[in-house]
Amino acid sequence: MLKQTGSCEDVNFNEQVEVRERVEAMLQKLQVLKSRISELRAHFEELQKSLYRDHSSSFRCDECGCTIEPGQEVEARNFSEKTHNYHKECFRKIWSQ
């Protein structure tokens, strides 16, 4: 009458092995993604630094006309999408008036 399919221990062991294999596969994929993210982040930072070097050398302050040194720039945009670049001190003077 009752059909015997196998013991519960065999089924649980097989399920555990299958789950463990899936988890290990997911962990391996996660490690690959983490390393790829690290590579992309390093590449992005390198590109950002080179872009910053290229732009910072060509920026001139719209207030005083001098070249803006790296780390001393403020970029302001108005509603017409025109960008203005200022030294931090020049920008403070403009907005404190």
Of 19-23, 28-32, 60-64, the range with the lowest mean pLDDT is 60-64
> Average pLDDT of the chain?
78
From the list 96, 93, 64, the residue with the least C-alpha distance to 85 is 64
The 10 Å Cβ neighbour count of residue 77 is 9
Q: Give the residue, 34 or 59, on which the prediction is more confident.
A: 34
pTM tops 0.75? no
Residue with token string 């399919």:
5
CA dist 88 → 43, 49, 94, 95, 96 (Å): 29, 20, 10, 11, 12
- The bridge status of strand 83-87 relative to strand 73-77 is antiparallel
